[in-house]
Amino acid sequence: MARLIGMHTHDVRFPTSRTLDGSDAMNPDPDYSAAYLRLVTDAGDGLEGHGFVFTIGRGNDVQVAALRALEGFVVGREVEATLADLGGVWRELVHDSQLRWLGPEKGVMHMAVGAVVNALWDLRAKRAGQPLWRLLASLSPEEIVGLVDFRYLSDALTREEALEILRRAEPGRAEREGRLLAEGYPAYTTTPGWLGYDDEKLARLCREAVVEGFSQIKLKVGGDLVDDTRRLGIAREAVGPGVRIAVDANQRWDVAEAIRWIEALRPFDLAWVEEPTSPDDVLGHAAIARAVAPVPVATGEHAANRVVFKQFLQAEALSVVQLDATRVAGVNENVAILLLAAKFGVRVCPHAGGVGLCEAVQHLAMFDFLAVSGSVEERMIEFVDHLHEHFVTPVDVRHGRYHPPLAPGAGTEMHPQSIEEYTQTPDQCAAG
Ligand SMILES: C[C@H](O)[C@@H](O)[C@@H](O)[C@H](O)C(=O)O
């Protein structure tokens, strides 16, 4: 009977100078980092489960400490039984009567649980010899709802309604898988849009995005309105009228300011405005959404859990759900969020600007297409072109589309050399 015998954590940081990224209005020096974990078993098959939380710089210390606090939950467990009941394991971790005091269901502890849950899914998918998207899509509707905790959701989504959504998507799954394999899943790119880039680089990267086949780009805004207006003008001219341009304020504004700023940028035909204000402010987003309609409001990369998504949907405060692979409590909670979005008929365009987020989140979007919404209409996964080389299964983005990974696992595994080279020692961390 194989057991989980080790949970190893690593403080992995890529200095800004090593990325191709620039800054956004709230994160001028993004030292992209990962609080990373490896689950080791004594099964003798050499397979490990890998998971991580995307953080920035100093924040990684805190996140790594939270991961370490979960070691006792994992080590010693029987592998088969644990992986066969990931719904039960999720509930046990999320509702732990002592750790939930640090949330509940939000912040570093919740994200640490997410990393453990994702690592367990990575291990389960590797043992099944399947990429995660296909493993999830092969589960029956009953097995899928068994992964979801409907506590606090049932006023908006019941287990029966979720089953109905999943059953409705059953016919045509095989045909959709064929399409996914042949055509890939649509992507948009944030690569041109960072605030740190000069006008010449912005224009060049916009033109390159069009050549590479993207039909939507995203620009960071919110630093200075004069700059934003000039940069949007440059971008619009470079991409032409046929390519959509979304803007992302990374939580920069208060509600009234957001409305004024978006009004000023409206002539550029915005595909959406993202994170206009605090990610916790459901009613503020609803006010912004009403005022700037028909410009869609997008958010979710900092939404703490499924309950927050439920409220955003109930309040009609967003029209694009931007779930993130490592913000909430892992695959299970993201399945709940996909089901909520399907219930409310709102499109999902996952967030992926960070380390390894593209690699991880594509599995959820592809699963959604096969087994939940059954649609890629107006849906896109974010793409940012950096740090993919550190992952064992880097994303395959061509002609503006993600081509599905076929390697077993959840896409979360970093190369051992990258872990070793970029893991910080406590001395390096203290030196800053
Ligand atoms: C610091 C990060 O790159 C963020 O700017 C990024 O996640 C961003 O919000 C995005 O939407 O990609």
For position 336, what pLDDT does the model report? 98
Give the closest residue (by CA) to ligand 1 atom 8.
353
Under a CB-based contact definition with an 8 Å cutoff, are residues 52 and 326 in contact?
Answer: yes
| Residue found under tokens 């694009």 | 320
**What number does the ligand 1 atom closest to the CA of 218 have?**
11
For position 20, what pLDDT does the model report? 56
Q: Is the CB of 299 under 6 A from ligand 1?
A: no
Q: Is the CB of 27 under 6 A from ligand 1?
A: yes
On the question of pLDDT at 432 being above 60, the answer is no
On the question of pLDDT at 428 being above 70, the answer is no
Per-residue pLDDT tens digits for 39-57: 999 999 999 999 999 999 9
What burial letters (b/e) apply to 274-283, b meaning 16+ CB within 10 Å? Answer: bbbbebebbe
Whole-number Å distance, alpha carbon 149 to ligand 1 midpoint, is 28
Per-residue pLDDT tens digits for 172-218: 999 999 999 999 999 999 999 999 899 999 999 999 999 999 999 99
The 10 Å Cβ neighbour count of residue 345 is 9
Taking residues 222-247, what's their average pLDDT? 97
Concatenate the DSSP letters of all residues of 156-222 into one string: T--HHHHHHHHHHTSTTHHHHHHHHHHH-EEEEEEEEE-TTS-HHHHHHHHHHHHHTT-SEEEEE--
Taking residues 69-87, what's their average pLDDT? 97
Under a CB-based contact definition with an 8 Å cutoff, are residues 127 and 154 in contact?
Answer: no
Q: Is the CB of 248 under 6 A from ligand 1?
A: yes
On the question of pLDDT at 262 being above 70, the answer is yes
On the question of pLDDT at 16 being above 80, the answer is no
Is residue 175 exposed (0-12), middle (13-18) or buried (19+ Cβ within 10 Å)?
A: exposed
In which band, very low, low, confident or very high, does the pLDDT at 15 lie, cut at 50, 70 and 90? Answer: confident
The 10 Å Cβ neighbour count of residue 269 is 12
For position 186, what pLDDT does the model report? 98
Per-residue pLDDT tens digits for 124-142: 999 999 999 999 999 999 9
* Coil, helix or strand at residue 430: helix
Q: What is the dihedral of CA 121, 52, 219, 382, to 10 degrees?
A: -20
Q: Is the CB of 190 under 6 A from ligand 1?
A: yes
The conformation of residue 402, written as its DSSP 8-state character, comes to: E
Q: Is the CB of 324 under 6 A from ligand 1?
A: no
The conformation of residue 378, written as its DSSP 8-state character, comes to: T
Per-residue pLDDT tens digits for 333-349: 999 999 999 999 999 99
**What number does the ligand 1 atom closest to the CA of 248 have?**
11
For position 28, what pLDDT does the model report? 83
220 is catalytic: yes
For position 427, what pLDDT does the model report? 61
Active-site residue, from 10, 106, 218, 220: 220
Site to probe by mutation for ligand 1, drawn from 13, 14, 20, 190 as the one with most ligand atoms within 8 Å of Cβ, is 190
Q: Is the CB of 250 under 6 A from ligand 1?
A: yes
Computed over every residue of the chain, the mean pLDDT equals 96
Active-site residue, from 351, 363, 390, 403: 351
On the question of pLDDT at 22 being above 90, the answer is no
Under a CB-based contact definition with an 8 Å cutoff, are residues 40 and 6 in contact?
Answer: yes
Under a CB-based contact definition with an 8 Å cutoff, are residues 87 and 147 in contact?
Answer: yes
Rama region for 405: left / alpha / beta (φ>0; ψ in -120 to 50; rest): beta
The closest of 158, 69, 172, 170 to 113, measured between CA atoms, is 69
Taking residues 235-257, what's their average pLDDT? 98
Residue 413 C-alpha from the chain's centroid: 16
In which band, very low, low, confident or very high, does the pLDDT at 430 lie, cut at 50, 70 and 90? Answer: low
In which band, very low, low, confident or very high, does the pLDDT at 29 lie, cut at 50, 70 and 90? Answer: confident
- Report d(CA 429, CA 423) in Å as an integer: 10
The 10 Å Cβ neighbour count of residue 251 is 21
Q: Tell me the residue type at 236.
A: R
Whole-number Å distance, alpha carbon 405 to ligand 1 midpoint, is 23
- Report d(CA 370, CA 392) in Å as an integer: 24
On the question of pLDDT at 92 being above 90, the answer is yes
pTM over 0.90: yes
More confident call, 328 vs 424: 328
Taking residues 245-249, what's their average pLDDT? 98
Taking residues 93-99, what's their average pLDDT? 96
Q: Is the CB of 354 under 6 A from ligand 1?
A: yes
Site to probe by mutation for ligand 1, drawn from 218, 248, 381 as the one with most ligand atoms within 8 Å of Cβ, is 248
For position 23, what pLDDT does the model report? 86
The closest of 162, 165, 35 to 87, measured between CA atoms, is 162
Q: Is the CB of 31 under 6 A from ligand 1?
A: no
What burial letters (b/e) apply to 184-208, b meaning 16+ CB within 10 Å? Answer: bbbbbbbbbbbbebeeeebbebbbe
**What number does the ligand 1 atom closest to the CA of 220 have?**
5
Per-residue pLDDT tens digits for 347-389: 999 999 999 999 999 999 999 999 999 999 999 999 999 899 9
On the question of pLDDT at 328 being above 80, the answer is yes
For position 363, what pLDDT does the model report? 99
Concatenate the DSSP letters of all residues of 70-132 into one string: THHHHTT-BHHHHHHTHHHHHHHHHT-TTGGGG-SS-HHHHHHHHHHHHHHHHHHHHHHTSBH
- What CATH number is given for 167-416 in this structure? 3.20.20.120
For position 424, what pLDDT does the model report? 87
